[in-house]
Amino acid sequence: MANVTVIGAQWGDEGKGKIVDWLAERADVVVRFQGGHNAGHTLVVSGKTYKLSLLPSGIVRGTLSVIGNGVVFDPWHFRDEVAKLKEQGVDITPENLQLAETCPLILPIHRDLDGLREDASGAGKIGTTRRGIGPAYEDKVGRRAIRVCDLAHLDDLELQLDRICAHHDALRAGFGESPVDRDRLKADLAEIADFILPFAKPVWLTLNEARKKGRRILFEGAQGVLLDVDHGTYPFVTSSNTIAGTASSGSGLGPSAAGFVLGIVKAYTTRVGSGPFPSELEDETGQRLGERGREFGTVTGRKRRCGWFDAVLVRQSAAVSGITGVALTKLDVLDGFDELKICIGYTLDGKTYDYLPPHPQDQARVKPIYETIAGWSESTAGARSWAQLPAQAIKYIRRVEELIQCPVALVSTSPEREDTILVRDPFTD
């Protein structure tokens, strides 16, 4: 199979950026197909760190990068991210980056609404990044979004502004806010249009032509399967579908184009923000995992919650996303533990579950069932072959494979792209 789809199989922050960067060297095109600039990807290349949130990870390598129609696009953030990468020596031009003409725009009014809702929710906060992602998707589904192609037709925008302002004015009034400043919004769009429009292309056509020519396409997901609006821990989820199937609808290629589905999985579990987390450790062990794994959000800087590996959730993610193989990241964070635990099931009111129940109150009350496995004292940091791994680390990996019912294709042992053990090649298997 020529194509590869990379998705997170937990709650995001699994290390997708490094894996996509590692694969991008052999890809012809890298495509972002959902989410927005709430997704943080950190790349470490030759000791230099790049932090991306909207741009596809392949851009650092100069690989043709595409922002698909399934993404919600903040044009002002895009301009800032392009400028930041230019300072680091990465030039982004219409020759190496294409933007779907049909991408919905994230507007200042979306950021306003995101913040107003969170502030008013009290204990019911979802834990959004306040970047307007959810409200932008709502306007897309409500058929009132302003899209990239509209930037070339600003003189014809009045009817669309009528629709979007009617909706947002009513919401803003409920929060005691003034109506949308239409003139300011139009001026903001006019100011950014000339920067954005050179990147706007019919990317579905670009991608279909690439596929006909046998080019290798790498689809890059944002967030993780457990944040999927349908399959995640609702309502503590993102506002888009994060499963592998979205690569098709979010890019303009048919479902057969997904190819090898590579699920990225940490050797333990983390989560940012609110929501259930059955294997969470609120003790010294959780603190140790967080410190060793440097668990702070790329986008928000928020401290991540940490816990033992939850095989139940990853098995569920693999099933709903059709994962072909997983990339196990941050194995080195587990170095030095005398023993490790893996969640293999849950109990709730005397009943045992081998999946996470759907209701949020049940999810919050389940208790993990743990299996204990011996740890290892040797270092795995920087290992690039099985021979360099401690025997007990290999046993841990093999047990993870058994429990999630999915083979390990890659093992990552540090943030450096070359510190990777290749078990199965996603581009050729």
Cα separation, 327 vs 218, whole angstroms: 15
From the CB of residue 106, how many other CB atoms can be counted at a distance below 10 Å? 30
Decide if 308 contacts 407 (C-beta within 8 A).
no
Q: Is 140 exposed, middle or buried (0-12, 13-18, 19+ CB in 10 A)?
A: buried
Task: List the beta bridge partners of residue 43.
Answer: 50
| Sign of the four-CA dihedral 383, 385, 387, 392 | positive
Cα torsion for 393, 394, 396, 401, to the nearest 10°?
150
User: Does residue 73 contact residue 103 with C-beta atoms inside 8 Å?
Assistant: yes
Q: Indicate which residue of 13, 112, 114, 332 is catalytic.
A: 13
DSSP string, 264-288: EEESSEEE-SSS--TTB--SHHHHH
Q: At what angle do helices 391-404 and 311-321 cross, to 10 degrees?
A: 50
Contact between residue 122 and residue 166 where contact means Cβ atoms under 8 Å apart: no
Q: Is the CB of residue 267 less than 8 Å from the CB of residue 330?
A: yes
11, burial (CB in 10 Å: exposed 0-12, middle 13-18, buried 19+)? buried
How many other CB atoms are found less than 10 A from the CB of residue 243? 25
Catalytic residue check, 338 = no
Q: Please tell me which residue in 21, 28, 37, 41 is annotated as part of the active site.
A: 41
Identify whether 37 is a catalytic site residue: no
Residues labelled catalytic: 13, 41
